[in-house]
Amino acid sequence: MKSAVRQQHVARAKIIKAMAHPSRLFIIEELHDKERCVGELTEMIGVDASTVSKHLTVLKNAGLVMDEKRGNSIFYTLRCPCIMDFIGCVEDVLSTNAEENAAVLKCLNRGTKK
Amino acid sequence: MKSAVRQQHVARAKIIKAMAHPSRLFIIEELHDKERCVGELTEMIGVDASTVSKHLTVLKNAGLVMDEKRGNSIFYTLRCPCIMDFIGCVEDVLSTNAEENAAVLKCLNRGTKK
DNA sequence: TGGCTATTTGGCTATATTGCCAAATACCAG
DNA sequence: CTGGTATTTGGCAATATAGCCAAATAGCCA
């Protein structure tokens, strides 16, 4: 693979990898509605605050969120709302998979019945 | 976080994680153009055939590709072309990041020049 | 059958990721 | 300054991932 193309895929993979975790997906969706501080997200997700902080660092390094300190808290916002389109695409895949599974199940049932 | 919501994010994260690797992104793009067998992809990517095979297994388990044996080879195809929209979204993020970086650089230059 | 090609599987090592805890840091209110 | 809250950092253990090699499997052709 040519190096320039390779580099392009590495760059894209970095962004995608940053989204590839349930808690981080949750954060992205939550921030789409409104800005949130670490404490709020921590309570919603239900893991240690330091863990949430690290997830937010991952998202920030990928350029997906921004932070802003106000008073005693740090508020995070989504930097690219287009990210939600992204999640829409994933849902399409999931529903395709679900249909397939349903078809397979139906097929199996037909086989065993009788 | 409620369990149902949590499960939804776990399911989505699985799909996204399957895409979160440079070689797998390459494979997805390549399969968007046309079906390919393992050998072709192996040569294009330039890693061991067993590694490519494992990447394809990851993509297949996520429901992103399908395989079909014909003759001596196994051909892989993209199951959800919508995946390419997904990559378009990633490019949006990358260009947003690039603009930001450009702005920062400009700002720095302005600072040092004088 | 035997040899050949294509692909997958198992095993291994190196590296990366996740999550917790404890400690450090930053900021606000008295 | 002191105490309290919010967040990040460092360190550690458990687990997951990526890649290679060697071996197993599957199908073709002679």
Report which of B17, B94, B61 is spatially closest to residue A17, judged by C-alpha positions: B17
Name the CA radius of gyration of chain B, rounded.
19
Which DSSP string corresponds to chain A?
Answer: --HHHHHHHHHHHHHHHHH-SHHHHHHHHHHHHS-EEHHHHHHHHTS-HHHHHHHHHHHHHTTSEEEEEETTEEEEEES-TTHHHHHHHHHHHHHHHHHHHHHHHHHHHHHH--
Q: Residue A40 and residue B89: Cα distance in Å, rounded?
A: 28
Q: Is the CB of B96 under 7 A from strand C?
A: no
What local confidence, expressed as pLDDT, does residue B1 receive? 64
Q: Which residues on A lie below 8 Å from B24 (Cβ)? A: 13
- Nearest-CA residue to the C1' of C4? B72
Distance from CA of A16 to the nearest CA of B (A): 5
- Supply the pLDDT for residue B36: 98
The pLDDT-based confidence of A106 (bands split at 50, 70, 90) is confident
* Whether the predicted pLDDT of A102 surpasses 60: yes
Q: Which domain holds residue A90?
A: 82-114
Closest approach of chain A CAs to the CA of B91, in angstroms?
A: 7
A105 in the same domain as A56 = no
Pair B67, B111 in one domain = no
Q: Where does the pLDDT of residue A26 fall: very low under 50, low under 70, confident under 90, or very high at 90 and above?
A: very high
Alpha helices in B20-68 (DSSP H): 22-33, 38-45, 49-61
Are A53 and A36 within 8 A, CB to CB?
no
Q: A33-83 pLDDT, tens per residue? A: 999 999 999 999 999 999 999 999 999 999 999 999 999 999 999 998 777
Q: What is the mean pLDDT of residues A83-102?
A: 83
Q: Are residues A37 and A14 in the same domain?
A: yes
Residue A74 Cβ < 7 Å to strand D: yes
The overall average pLDDT reported for chain A is: 89
| A94 with B26: Cβ contact below 8 A | no
pLDDT at residue B80, as a whole number: 82
Structure confidence at residue A108 (pLDDT): 59
Q: What is the pLDDT of residue A110?
A: 63
In the predicted structure, residue A114 carries a pLDDT above the cut 50: no
> Same structural domain for residues A106 and A61?
no
Number of domains in chain B: 2
- B17 and B55 housed in the same domain: yes
Low-confidence ranges of chain B (pLDDT < 50): 113-114
Percent of chain A with pLDDT over 90: 62
Contact B55, B24 (CB under 8 A): yes
Hey, is the C-beta of B85 within 8 angstroms of any chain A C-beta?
yes
In Å, what is the CA distance from B59 to each residue of A47, A84, B25? 29, 22, 10
